[in-house]
């Protein structure tokens, strides 16, 4: 499929088609106000035709990319939306927001939220963590009477840093494997680079750029916790348990999988396989949502608990159908750019430029990210391209770890309309595309550049 496209089109032509497709998408959505779902599908189809993907493979290419994206995010969005609405309508989100305000004060509550997101994002992917934290973000924005964008972007900035740089997230782990880097050293370098990057770019820059955008009201995706008085709100410990349960289950999965890979544990164990299944993100979210429904909605109800739970689930799922479709279409667009050979052509041309090792690793990862949208694809592809050069270079273990983290920095930056995460955050915050480009894209770019600069400093000093 990729070979067919590349056999007839040169690298400059492929890159021109990609740039034209992105420009057309922005015009359709921002200027012509076409719904993002239709715009993404139309531009994906035209890009596939323009890059020479054979007609018999055209629809399978579109549907495979669409389906694979939905397979990874639809369950997360669905379960996360239900979990969030349960926490919101029972007063749990308000309890957590009030606790944050009481502990940090009204002025520093956004910082408390960002720190919580930084810790919460350690073992959980950005999309799952963001959806789980939404009820708290919504409630805190209402209570503090601040723009949702300010709190949403501060939270997203923390998740971006953790997702991009820190093992056990898949990008840095895969890059470490390709480059034969010590994962412990990668974690150390990632923390040395990631913590200051989070505070300066993920929190301070996020607050700066978001505060300069139009005031963003809280959408009614998860219900308004102020719309009706909650006479018996849940205890803080119960709400915290409900939100930390998916974190614990996913973290358990990550730890067990790491022990299996390092041959500390054998995978030929039935109980271990069950625990791994329970810790898979969709299953962990399903279990956590069911627990939340029981503890917050049904426990103590003499009758009508199931009916009330069904009503809450219906009200939670209806508003997120559009988000699921738009996110899937964003993945479709990115998948077409991958299948067309645009990413491979760009990486191949950059490999021969002759840049310093760490700079080349970052530039290739960043270029792949800009071209096709997926941070994981960008990071793993860049690491595979750089593996031979790194293996033959006279560098120490810390420098190798710095290259791994630099690849992660390049792979997470410059997020725009070909990134499914861009659309997920945009729709849940109710933010238009132009504002996302002025906030989310700027923040991801700032995180990428600062992390790269710190990696370069460590690389030179090592």
Which residues touch 389 (CB under 8 Å, ≥6 apart)? 357, 360
**Distance in angstroms (rounded) separating the CA atoms of residues 429 and 250:** 25
The answer to whether the beta carbons of residues 51 and 340 sit under 8 Å apart is yes
Separation of alpha carbons 47 and 24, rounded Å = 10
Decide: 371 and 414 in contact? Cβ < 8 Å.
no
Span 425-446, pLDDT tens digits? 998 999 999 999 999 999 999 9
- Tell me the mean pLDDT in the region 113-138: 81
Residue 349 has pLDDT above 80, yes or no: no
Answer yes or no: is pLDDT of 234 > 70: yes
Three-state SS letters, 111-150: HHHHHHHHHHCCCCCHHHHHHHHHHHHHHHHHHHCCCHHH
Most confident of 104-118, 175-189, 239-253, 385-399: 104-118
Instruction: State the Cα–Cα distance between residues 136 and 142, nearest whole angstrom.
Output: 10
CA–CA gap between residue 396 and residue 30 (Å, rounded):
48
Q: Of 207-211, 294-298, 317-321, 399-403, which range is least confident?
A: 317-321
Name the token pair of 99: 């606790």
Question: What is the widest separation between alpha-carbon atoms in the chain?
Answer: 72
Q: Cis (ω within 30 of 0) for the bond into 240?
A: no
Rounded distance between C-alpha atoms, residue 452 and residue 186, angstroms? 14
Say which residues have a Cβ less than 8 Å from residue 197's Cβ, sequence separation at least 6: 161, 165, 447, 450, 451, 454
Q: Tell me the C-alpha distance between 363 and 382, whole Å.
A: 9
Q: Is the pLDDT of residue 2 over 50?
A: no
Structure tokens at 146: 């601040």
pTM of the model: 0.75
How far is residue 358 from each of residues 50, 91, 158, measured CA to CA in Å?
Answer: 34, 49, 24
Region of 395 please: left (phi>0), alpha (psi -120 to 50) or beta.
beta
Q: What percent of the chain has pLDDT over 70?
A: 91
Q: By 3-state DSSP, what share of the chain in percent is helix, strand and coil, each rounded to 5?
A: 80, 0, 20
Instruction: Return all residues near 83 (Cβ < 8 A) that are at least 6 apart.
Output: 131, 132, 135, 242, 285, 288, 289, 292
- Between 211-220, 230-239, 412-421, the lowest mean confidence (pLDDT) is in 230-239
Give the pLDDT score at 439: 95
Tell me: pLDDT of 5 over 80.
no
Average pLDDT score over residue span 148-159: 93
The pLDDT, as a whole number, for residue 200 is 96
pLDDT at 132 over 60: yes
Mean pLDDT of the chain: 84
The answer to whether 85 touches 316, Cβ cutoff 8 Å, is: yes
Supply the DSSP string of 365-414, one letter for each residue.
HHHHHHHH--HHHHHHHHHHHHHHHHHTS---HHHHHHHHHHHHHHHHSS
CA–CA separation, 30 and 432 (whole Å) = 8
User: What's the rounded Cα separation, in Å, for the pair 418 and 197?
Assistant: 24
Whether the Cβ atoms of residue 426 and residue 433 lie closer than 8 Å to each other: yes
């Amino acid at each position: 499929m990729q070979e067919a496209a590349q056999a007839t089109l040169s690298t400059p032509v492929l890159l021109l088609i990609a740039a034209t497709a992105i420009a057309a998408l922005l015009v359709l959505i921002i200027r012509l106000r076409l719904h993002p779902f239709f715009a993404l599908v139309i531009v994906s189809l035209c890009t596939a035709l323009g890059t020479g993907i054979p007609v018999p493979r055209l629809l399978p290419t579109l549907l495979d990319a669409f389906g694979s994206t939905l397979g990874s995010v639809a369950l997360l969005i669905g379960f996360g939306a239900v979990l969030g609405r349960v926490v919101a309508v029972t007063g749990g989100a308000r309890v957590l927001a009030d606790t944050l305000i009481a502990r940090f004060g009204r002025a520093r509550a956004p910082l408390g939220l960002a720190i919580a997101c930084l810790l919460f994002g350690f073992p959980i992917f950005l999309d799952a963590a963001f959806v789980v934290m939404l009820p708290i973000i919504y409630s805190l924005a209402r209570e503090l009477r601040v723009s949702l964008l300010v709190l949403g972007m501060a939270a997203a900035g923390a998740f971006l840093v953790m997702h991009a740089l820190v093992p056990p997230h898949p990008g840095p782990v895969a890059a470490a494997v390709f480059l034969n880097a010590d994962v412990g050293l990668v974690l150390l370098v990632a923390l040395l680079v990631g913590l200051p990057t989070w505070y300066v770019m993920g929190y301070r820059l996020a607050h700066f750029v978001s505060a300069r955008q139009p005031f963003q009201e809280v959408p009614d995706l998860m219900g308004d916790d102020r719309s009706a008085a909650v006479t018996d709100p849940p205890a803080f410990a119960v709400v915290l348990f409900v939100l930390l349960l998916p974190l614990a289950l996913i973290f358990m999965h990550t730890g067990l999988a790491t022990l299996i890979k390092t041959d500390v544990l054998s995978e030929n164990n039935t109980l271990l396989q069950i625990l791994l299944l329970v810790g898979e993100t969709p299953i962990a979210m399903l279990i956590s949502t069911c627990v939340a429904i029981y503890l917050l909605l049904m426990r103590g109800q003499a009758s009508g608990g199931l009916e009330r739970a069904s009503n809450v689930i219906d009200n939670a799922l209806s508003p997120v159908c559009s988000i699921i479709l738009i996110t899937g279409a964003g993945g479709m667009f990115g998948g077409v750019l991958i299948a067309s050979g645009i990413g491979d052509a760009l990486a191949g041309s950059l490999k021969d430029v002759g840049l310093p090792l760490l700079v080349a690793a970052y530039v290739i990862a960043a270029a792949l990210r800009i071209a096709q949208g997926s941070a994981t694809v960008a990071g793993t592809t860049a690491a595979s391209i750089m593996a031979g050069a790194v293996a033959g270079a006279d560098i120490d273990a810390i420098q190798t770890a710095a290259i791994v983290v630099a690849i992660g920095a390049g792979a997470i930056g410059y997020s725009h309309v070909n990134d499914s995460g861009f659309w997920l955050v945009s729709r849940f915050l109710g933010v238009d595309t132009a504002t996302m480009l002025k906030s989310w894209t700027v923040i991801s770019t700032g995180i990428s550049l600062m992390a790269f600069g710190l990696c370069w400093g460590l690389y030179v000093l090592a």
